[in-house]
Structure 1
Amino acid sequence: MTAAAGLSTVAEEDALRAHFYALLSSLTLAPPPAERLRDLGQLAGDETELGQALAALGAAAREADTAALTEEHTAVFVGITRGEVVPYASYYLTGFLNEKPLAEVRQTLAALGVERSSGRPEPEDHVGILFEVMYGLILGRIGDGSLTAQKTFFDTHVDPWAETLFRDIEQAPSARFYRPVGTIGRLFLAIERESLGMVGEKGEG
């Protein structure tokens, strides 16, 4: 997916939000390569529930190897006919793939001037692609960088289903490395919902 780069001064808390979206996007789209796995192994956390989940991911990364992670990612997200979870908005909202939620995502992306990357097989309602868009919106690389734009995309395309997906990832039978990924996603999205829910009340700030 490509978008015209925008210039934006990003507050520290927004940079952190963008980092979480980028992390979750990359891990749901593909298993981490060895260099990325080493970086993840440095993760530590505080005493909060999210901090403990980050620490658990760091521990899982230190114990994992790339071959096993490739197998785990395939089992959890892909499978032979389908994975243990199906990371698409259409599936969670309608029970089928390539349905109205996908068409709605494509309409939104077209309005934002975002083009599909050539060579990417996943439909645009894949959670990893939606999180790439949130990353771009936060950094001002997509759209106008406003909190209103972020909230609109989140409320329309992410919030109705993605937290349930990450809860399912936590419970997926093959998830070992991906279990704390599921926890991080679930907790982060709950924080996002609360924070973005105040946008209409507080304005852009």
Structure 2
Amino acid sequence: MRDAGLELAIKAAGGVGSLARGLGIAQPSVSAWARIPAERVLAVEALTQVDRFVLRPDLYGSPEDQATSKADVDEIDRLRAAEYGLLSLLLGKAPDADTLKRVATLKGDGSDLGMAHVELASAAAATDDRAVSKEFFDLFIGLGRGELLPYASYYLTGFLHERPLARVREDLRALGIERAGTSREPEDHIAILLEVMAGLARGDFEAEFAEQASFFERHLKPWAARMFADLEMSQSARFYRAVGRAGRVFMELESEAFTLS
């Protein structure tokens, strides 16, 4: 049985088929929903103009509950930040045994992202830190170079340290974001860009939503989903094939949500 928020969204969109088309997903997927998946709320809100607190009151509460300070972060953004943070962690370095144990506890639902989480949890449970460390080396480091080069410059120009890196640095300066830690990777590395998006979603930086959307549109949308798809299709990837699927699905969802917002 559909909840009230989903029923209102379907009515506002003009039917299940119209809602599915507007979101760019298959109609049977929407028909199977009992309520709007958390990661779809922002896109449905933008498409139907039905407020998020009506679509998912369990996440947002009443309109009065929304009178929070600018620094407050709603539950959807917390989930987004967690997803960005997880992907950044797994792509920044090979996960240790404790990280793999945590990833193995991920739960999922019937949504595309939920199913990707189930696959990722299963992949984490089926491997160990030594195997994943070797896989990470082969994929991203290698003898000379890895199978994949997860940099915006490479995916957009075919070379490293090109104009896309300069644009990232310009935007980081404009946002007042400075590098921390000891990583030697250039700022257009996928893990660093995902970490920045996690901070923006959490409200760690003084940035408007439009600036968050702009950062994604400029530095991740043009290439990140393609990189994750390459990882998902890699013949040498095992654990990271599941990381690729989760990343690809999440990038597609974010791209859709920002486009509709």
Say which structure, 1 or 2, has more relative contact order (CA 8 Å, 6+ apart): 1
Give the TM-score of the pair, scaled to structure 1. Answer: 0.90
Equivalent of residue 171 in structure 1, options 233, 244, 256: 233
Range with greater deviation from structure 2 (129-138 or 110-119): 110-119
Equivalent of residue 162 in structure 1, options 224, 227, 247: 224
Bigger radius of gyration, 1 or 2?
A: 2
How far apart are 1:78 and its partner, in Å?
A: 1.3
Give the TM-score of the pair, scaled to structure 2. Answer: 0.71
Give the letter for the 1:156 counterpart.
Answer: R
1:62 maps to 2:125: yes
Match of 2:99, SS state, is helix
How far apart are 1:118 and its partner, in Å?
A: 4.8
Equivalent of residue 185 in structure 1, options 247, 253, 259: 247
Over the matched positions of the two proteins, sequence identity in percent amounts to: 47
Stretches of structure 2 that go unaligned for 5 or more consecutive residues are 1-69
C-alpha deviations, 1:62-85, integer Å up to 9, x for none?
Answer: 111111110001111111121111
Q: Is the 8 A contact 1:133 1:142 kept in 2?
A: no
Residues in 2 aligned to 1:157 and 1:126: alpha-carbon distance in whole angstroms: 10
Residues in 2 aligned to 1:75 and 1:188: alpha-carbon distance in whole angstroms: 24
Residues in 1 aligned to 2:203 and 2:75: alpha-carbon distance in whole angstroms: 14
Residues in 2 aligned to 1:143 and 1:86: alpha-carbon distance in whole angstroms: 31
How far apart are 1:34 and its partner, in Å?
A: 1.1
Range with greater deviation from structure 2 (58-67 or 115-124): 115-124
1:20 maps to 2:83: yes
Runs (4 or more) in structure 1 with deviation over 3 Å come to: none
Task: Quote the RMSD (CA, aligned, Å).
Answer: 1.2
How far apart are 1:26 and its partner, in Å?
A: 0.6
Residues in 1 aligned to 2:130 and 2:241: alpha-carbon distance in whole angstroms: 17
Stretches of structure 1 that go unaligned for 5 or more consecutive residues are 1-6, 200-205
Residues in 1 aligned to 2:82 and 2:194: alpha-carbon distance in whole angstroms: 10
Residues in 2 aligned to 1:176 and 1:90: alpha-carbon distance in whole angstroms: 26
How far apart are 1:147 and its partner, in Å?
A: 1.7
Aligned residues: 192
C-alpha deviations, 1:91-135, integer Å up to 9, x for none?
Answer: 000000000100111111111111222521110000100011111
